[in-house]
Structure 1
Amino acid sequence: MASRPDTEDYRALFLTDAPMMDMRAPLEFEKGAFPAATSLPLMTDDERAQVGTRYKQQGREAAIELGHQLVNAEVRSRRLAQWSAFAQSHPDGYLYCFRGGLRSQTVQRWLREAGIDYPLVRGGYKAMRRFLIDELERSVAAAQFVLISGKTGTGKTRVIWDLPGSIDLEGLANHRGSTFGQLPAPQPGQIDFENCLSIALMKRLAEGPGRLFLEDEGRLIGRLYLPEVLHAAMAVAPMAVVEESLDERVNVVIADYVIDLGERYQRLHGDVGARLHAEKLQADLLRIRKRLGGERHQRASGFMADAFQQQQSSGDTGGHRQWIAFLLEHYYDPMYEYQLQQREGDILFRGSREAVLQWAAS
């Protein structure tokens, strides 16, 4: 049986996905947390605000007294039941608050009085967050990045999924990276994204030396931005370029943005899902109208509207091929060629998805 990580061994805590109880208020948790953490706060947002005001006005002892009044015996009993249930379900877990101070120490003491000895992460959220920021820089400096590049629709993400030693940046960001890439479920917060990214890099490097594959991305993935240190490293990293025929690329886009995205909207919104899906893609198309040009935008919009009408009446998705091929040829391909010319990294290999996978495995 593996030994339990020390309460100051943040690396081991994150590498083992140690379950954690977060004692901070819900608003603090919403602003930034860790993937293995569960929000089980000592105080609500309103209670925390009241205690903070009392602390500023009358000092520590008065704030503690108010805290005990707010978290009275009945409230404490309900919350203690939740903490106890978590501790019993996760005997290998930990608890923490912002700095590992009064809030987490109070909960730890109450648990101990209930017969549960549960460890407290020293330094709390602040120390672990600082560790992940520093660790991200160390990981980027140590990694041998190779980017999986290629035109839109070549299936770069599919290559990432099939490559050992890769990290799916778009998966972490819950976004497909393009103008049309927003998914029905919201993206995580920036801090949550950075925390997950730092942990993913740490885990990959812990597996041993070797190339670490990332999909070629811009600075932004949806509304989330890549940390500057990673973006700078990717700008000069070598690349493997995925090349597929236009027909195959259209197939990939239909699979991802018509079929899969449509199914997501229908699962989430039911009968109105199809309409919301079509409206979403038209709105995305409108966002690139200026760069696409008014006449081209009008044509693409008409092609798209006809395709959705055909799909609704017959279930046939073939009509989508026209607007997708049009955008690939007139918008995405010229933009990709320009961006590729600006890159400093060497091109190590060119080939189909299957060929890239075979090259990476060799």
Structure 2
Amino acid sequence: MKEMAVEDLFTIKNPVIIDIRSPIEFNDGAIPGAINVPLFTNEERQIIGTIYKQEGSAVAKWKAMEIVSPKIPELLQTIKKCVSNDTELIIHCWRGGMRSKAVVTFLEFAGIYSWRLVGGYKAYRHYILEQLPTMLPNKAIVLHGLTGVGKTEVLKILNKKGYPILDLEEMAGHRGSIFGTIGLSDGHNQKTFDSLLFKGLRDIKDADYFLVEAESKRIGKAVQSEELMDKKMEGININLNTPIEQRVKHLVSEYVEPYQEETWYFDKISDGIEKVLRRIKDADIKKSLIQTLTDRNYPEMIRILLEHYYDPRYDHAKQEYEGEFFEIYAEHPMDAADKIAEKLNQLSFYPIQELNFHNRMIK
């Protein structure tokens, strides 16, 4: 049986990672890109666990064999469809125990050769938590700006230009506000956030700096590490300024137009407004917000929220950052990305390809 240590997993060129844990385990946290081919359903896993506690290991193993035996042909067929001649097949379970050993053995009998990940997902989780604090590039370029300036979109444009970015909102599955999950799931948990951050840092490992949005420490369900927050607080700050008309337009296109006809949309907005109303003291502002909700006048609602709720809170958050601030004035995200790229080049922060070339020339 071929075995692979977690640290070797990231040296494989074309890995196909098959996670054979139950769906509930997989959804709680998984290796990015892994394919869930569960050996047991959630209910079957629970039954086996109960038998193990009440009747012991031998009885539980027998029950597991009874459940798995009829599934083996379909299980192997499903895994076989995932691999090709130029891929390396890697199988793992929770801690590299009986489930992964059994599947690797079944595959071997069928003439499909695979690696068993030693220690399983548990070892992977331990490894990335150990590595994350050591992986951060030297310098953070922190993108600030009032809600609606399009910071995330600007980061994505800069990424396409070759600049190293960390999109923390995408990693958290949350846009970092009361309305942050509209059009998304309920947000990623800490395990998923950490896994995506680890992958993101590996993607920019050749860079000595990174671009990141000025998020608060908690983004939805996920919390940033002290090491990451310290890098941001000590970084170089770029503050993006955009006219409020453009900000309203941007937020309508992101939060309203794609979803407003969905049955869940009005209730979701109502819940968010209810939370905002608890924090606003001005009676006239409250009345105006309630009226926009009644009228479903979302552009006007967004304008009121920006002027009287989000904007006043933003200046306070900026004061936590120690580094110098550079102001960028732009009409839209593409304009902003071009001006930020120009500023970065002036500060000798180049796209990764140019950075590698620049470093070779120095040597």
- TM above 0.5, one fold? yes
| Aligned residue in 2 for 1:158 | 153
Cα shift at 1:171 = 1.8
Q: Distance between the aligned counterparts of 2:299 and 2:143, measured in 1?
A: 25
Aligned length: 333
Matches within 5 A, 1:170-319: 170-186=169-185, 187-205=187-205, 208-262=206-260, 266=261, 273=262, 276-293=264-281, 294-306=283-295, 308=297
Is the 2:233–2:323 Cα contact (8 Å) retained in structure 1?
yes
In structure 2, the residue matched to 1:23 is 20
Post-superposition offset of 1:224: 2.9
Secondary structure, in 3 states, of the residue corresponding to 1:209?
A: coil
Matches of 1:350 and 1:15 in 2, distance apart? 42
Q: Specify which of 63, 76, 88 is matched with residue 92 of structure 1.
A: 88
Say whether residues 1:132 and 2:116 are aligned partners.
no
User: Structure 1, residues 274-328: CA drift from partner, whole Å, max 9, x if none?
Assistant: x6434432321221112222431221231344353xxxxxxxxxxx543333222
Q: Deviations over 1:336-358 (max 9, x none)?
A: 11111233333245443242232
Whether 1:355 aligns to 2:339 is yes
Paired residues of 1:87 and 1:118 also in contact (CA < 8 A): no
Say yes or no: does 1:42 pair with 2:30.
Answer: no
Alpha-carbon separation, structure 2, partners of 1:7 and 1:126: 14
Is the 2:141–2:237 Cα contact (8 Å) retained in structure 1? yes
- Give 3-state SS (helix, strand or coil) of 2:118's partner: coil
Aligned to 1:317: none
1:214 aligned counterpart, secondary structure:
strand
Counterpart in the other structure of 1:314 = none
Deviation sequence 1:106-137 (CA, Å, 0-9, x none)? 11111111111111122211111111111211
Cα deviation code 1:47-75 (max 9, x no counterpart)? 33343344445554443333222323x23
- Per-residue deviation, residues 204-247 of structure 1 (Å, max 9, x unmatched): 12xx1332001110122233333343234333333111011222
CA contact (8 A) 1:135 1:202 kept: no
Checking the alignment, whether the CA contact within 8 Å between 1:243 and 1:351 is kept in structure 2 is yes
- Bigger Cα displacement from structure 2, 105-114 vs 169-178: 169-178
After superposition, the CA RMSD in angstroms is: 2.7
Deviation digits for residues 154-212 of structure 1 (CA, Å, limit 9, x no counterpart): 1111211111211211122232222222223312333112211111112212xx13320
The residue type equivalent to 2:18 in the other structure is: M
Give the 3 Å change call, closer, same or farther, for CA 276–46 of structure 1 in structure 2: closer
Per-residue deviation at 1:334? 1.2
C-alpha distance 93-230 of structure 1, shift in aligned 2 (>3 A): same
How big is each residue's C-alpha offset from its partner over 1:11-30, in whole Å with a ceiling of 9 and x where there is no partner?
Answer: 65388572211122222112
1:148 aligned onto 2:147: no
**CA distance 1:64–1:117, change in 2 (3 Å):** same
- Aligned partners of 1:286 and 1:297 also within 8 Å: no
1:329 aligns with 2:324: no
Q: Deviations over 1:51-102 (max 9, x none)?
A: 3344445554443333222323x23233233233334588423111122221
Compare the two structures and name the one with the higher helix fraction: 1
CA separation in 1, counterparts of 2:250 and 2:269?
16
CA distance in 2, matches of 1:65, 1:307: 59
Determine if contact 1:242/1:351 at 8 Å carries over to the other structure: yes
1:283 is aligned with what amino acid? D
Instruction: Name the TM-score, length of structure 1 as normaliser.
Output: 0.82
For residues 9 and 304 of structure 1, the distance between their equivalents in structure 2, rounded to whole angstroms, comes to: 51
Deviation at 1:151, TM superposition (A): 1.0
Q: Which runs of 5+ in 2 are unaligned?
A: 331-335, 347-363
> SS in structure 1 opposite 2:318?
helix
What CA distance in whole angstroms lies between the structure 2 residues aligned with 1:17 and 1:196? 18
- Choose which of 115, 121, 124 in structure 2 pairs with 1:119: 115
Query: 1:133 is paired with a residue of what secondary structure?
Result: helix
TM-score by length of structure 2 reads: 0.82
* Distance in 1 separating the partners of 2:248 and 2:201: 32
Partner of residue 360, structure 2: none
